[in-house]
Amino acid sequence: MKTIYLVRHGKAVSRYENVKDFDRDLVGRGRNDALIVAGHMAENGAVPSIIVSSPARRTLETARQFARRFGYPTKKIRTRKAIYDQNAGAFMEIIKGLDDSHGSAMLVGHNPVIENIAFTLSPSCTEVMSTGSVYGIALEVNSWCDIKPGAGDLTMFLSPKALKAQHKTPYKKVEVKNKLIEGIELILSGMDENTTKRMTKPIRKTSAALADTFIRILKK
């Protein structure tokens, strides 16, 4: 049995920015999304024994984010230019050429080829791969070189958007702000009640800013 995880790189700098396509880096959301998905995989024991990536900056950084969350040495990430070149045939050869000592492997690439490979390996793969999403496919083979189109079984499909929706904070900003105001006023009143009454506006403003930060961190 072999298992392959196909990953589309995370959200990157726009292709319309003044930067070469190969050098487009991840934006903050792309890095965060990779950690969210990798964390879910790690918690469920879906950790590959080898990671192979396109050498483009956005894919390699996505691979590194996954590796860090898995505890996989980033220096051991392998790169293959054929993944960046969007050559489906060469991509399949990379998979078939994996050492059989690896029971599972993660390949990080680009659409449309990464998605097409998933569709080719398993008819159950039907979801469009948004940035940062992952397909997990089980292959009933003892050797990577024996994999065949359509023979894989879908084991997982993860997308950052769906995972973040599952972990939305149960708190509302107004609730957090009111609790902060109450707590701050209680503490300051114990020091000087008159001064505290004169600080209503700055306390509310500060509490609103703290509530914003608190909710934002909870959503990560």
Greater confidence (216 vs 21) lies with 21
pTM: 0.76
Q: Residue with structure tokens 């000592």?
A: 101
Q: What is the pLDDT of residues 70-122, one digit of tens each?
A: 999 999 999 999 999 988 999 999 999 999 999 999 999 999 999 999 999 99
Report strand pairing: 78-79 vs 104-109. unpaired
Name beta bridge partners: 104: 3
Q: What is the pLDDT of residues 23-62, one digit of tens each?
A: 999 999 999 999 999 999 999 999 999 999 999 999 999 9
Sketch out the chain's domains with CATH numbers.
Answer: 2-166 (3.40.50.1240), 173-219 (no CATH)
Cα separations in angstroms, 103 against 47, 139, 140, 173, 206 = 10, 10, 11, 46, 52
Q: Is 54 exposed, middle or buried (0-12, 13-18, 19+ CB in 10 A)?
A: buried
